[in-house]
A and B are shown apart, each in its own frame.
Chain A
Amino acid sequence: MRDRGKIIVGLIIFVILVTFPFWRQLAASGEADVARPDLDYPDPAEVPSCVEDSAYMTANHPHLLNDWRDQLVREGVTEYTSSTGEVYQISLTHTCLDCHEDRDAFCNRCHDYSNVDPTCWDCHTTPGGGS
C-alpha cells in the first residue's frame, strides 16, 4: 500500500479527463447561448402564411414532408388540405421553394444550426432545375 498516494492522484486525473466534455459544456453554457439562426422568411405582405402556421411547421415539417412524399409517390394524392381548409399542391420544389426562394438562407441555415443533414437535396432540385 505504499503507492496509495500515486494511485489516488492518478484516479482523480482519470476522472477529470473522462468527465472533461461535461465540464467544458458547463463552462461554455454560461457565456453563450448560441444565437438562433437568422432565417430568410418570405415577405408576409406577399405570402400571408405557410401551409400550416409557423410553430407547427418549425416542429413538424419533416413529418409533413414525409407524409406528402408517401401520399404523392405511393398513393397518387396531389393535393393537401391544410387545417384551415386551404388546398395546396403537394410539391417540395414548388409549394415550398416558390416562397422559400433562398434555400441556403432558410433550409440550410437552420439545418446547420441544429446539426441535421437531411438528404432531400441529394436528388430534389429548386424551381427551374437548379441543384
Chain B
Amino acid sequence: MSEKKSRRDFLRDTSAAVLGAGAGLPFLATTGCEQLQDHNLRGSEQQWAMVIDVEKAKDPAVRRACAEACRREHNIPVIEEPGDEIHWIWDETFEHVFEDQVHEHTPEELMETPVLVLCNHCTNPPCVRVCPTKATWKRESDGIVMMDQHRCIGCRYCMAACPYAARSFNWRDPRPFIETDSEGNFPSEYPTRRRGVVEKCNFCAERLRDGLQPACVEAANQVPGAEGVLAFGDLTDPDSEVSRILAEQKTMSRRVALGTGPNVYYVV
C-alpha cells in the first residue's frame, strides 16, 4: 500500500474537519445577539403615553367621536369588507383586549365591555425589530413608533410581529374609500396612503408638532359627560397628567408579560 489516501480516508477526514469548524459557530453568533439587545433597549428622551378610562369610554358616543376624529384627521378609508378594513383606533371587547386577565368566572358584562384600542407605541416595539427597511422606527425624541410610507415595501412582517394587531394593510387603493366633500376634497391635508403599504396610529405626530393634543383625545374630552376619558402626556415628566393618573389610580396595560412595554394604559 502506498502513501496515497483511499477514498474512505478522504471522506472521513473531510467530515471531521467540517464538524470541527461547525462546532465553533455558536461562539460567533453570540456577538450578534448582544448587539441586537443593546439596540432594542435604548430608551427615548421623552415618551408620549395615553391613559384611557374604560368606564367613561363605555359611552358609544365617546368611541364614535374618537374614531371619527381620527378618520378625518388622517384621511382613513372606510372599507367595510372584513380583512380589508383600515383601523387606527377602534374598539374590541374586554375579553379580547385583556385576554390574559379574564377567566371562567369573569362576569359576562365585563367580558363584553367595549374597550378602545390603538397602537401602544411600545417602549420595546417588536414591529420595529422586524422591519427589513426601517420603514417603522421608534423616534428617540418622543418615543412615538413612526411609519415612513415612502419606505414601506408592504411585507407585513410588522403586522405579524405586533401582538396587539394595531396595524392595517392597504389591500387596495384607499382613495376611492375616503369620504370627500362636495368639491371632492379630502377631510384633511394629511397624505393618503397607496395600495401595498401598512399603516397605524401615529399618536398624531403632525398635531403634536403644532402643540396640539391628538385628535381622538381632543374629540373624546369634548363629549358631554366624558371629560377626562382620554389623558395624554409625557411619561418622563412626573408632573404630567398621565404620570399623575398612573401614580394615583389602578391602571393596567395590555399583555405586559410579553415585555413590549406598551404606553397606552387603562383605568379599570
Contact = CB atoms under 8 A, between A and B. Distances in A.
B139 A125 contact: no
B157 to A, nearest CB: 19
A131 B173 CA distance: 13
Interface stretch (A33-41, A42-50, A71-79): A71-79
Interface in B109-165: 137, 139, 141, 146, 148-150
Given A78-B209, A123-B194, A93 B149 contact: no
B146 A123 contact: no
A125 B148 contact: no
Contact of B192 (A69, A73, A123, A127): A123
A125 B192 CA distance: 8
A123 B193 contact: yes
A57 to B, nearest CB: 21
A73 B146 CA distance: 8
Interface in A23-72: 69
Interface stretch (B183-191, B237-245, B253-261): B183-191
Interface residues of A, number: 16
Question: Which of A73, A122, A123, A127 has the largest number of chain B CB atoms within 10 A?
Answer: A123
Q: How big is chain B's contact interface, by range?
A: 20 to 34
Contacts of A74: 137, 146, 148
B64 interface: no
A21 interface: no
Interface in B197-216: 209
B188 A129 contact: yes
B139 A93 contact: no
A123 B186 contact: no
Given A76-B209, A130-B184, A131-B185, 5 more contacts: A73-B150, A76-B141, A122-B192, A125-B186, A129-B186
B43 to A, nearest CB: 17
A93 B206 CA distance: 13
B194 A125 contact: no
Chain B interface, >50% SS class: loop
Nearest to A76: B141
A76 B139 contact: yes
A119 B186 contact: no
A128 interface: yes
B186 to A, nearest CB: 4
A29 B229 CA distance: 70
B173 to A, nearest CB: 9
Contacts of B183: 130
A123 B191 contact: yes
A124 B194 CA distance: 10
A127 B186 CA distance: 10
B133 to A, nearest CB: 12
A131 to B, nearest CB: 7
14 contacts: A73-B148, A73-B150, A74-B137, A74-B146, A76-B139, A122-B194, A123-B193, A125-B75, A125-B189, A125-B192, A127-B189, A129-B189, A130-B186, A131-B175
Given A76-B139, A123-B194, A93 B184 contact: no
**Top 7 A-B residue pairs of the complex, sorted by shortest distance between their CB atoms:** A129-B186, A123-B191, A129-B185, A122-B194, A124-B191, A130-B185, A73-B148
Nearest to B142: A76
Nearest to A94: B189
Contacts of A93: 189
Nearest to B193: A123
Contacts of A128: 185, 189
A6 B139 CA distance: 73
Contacts of A122: 192, 194
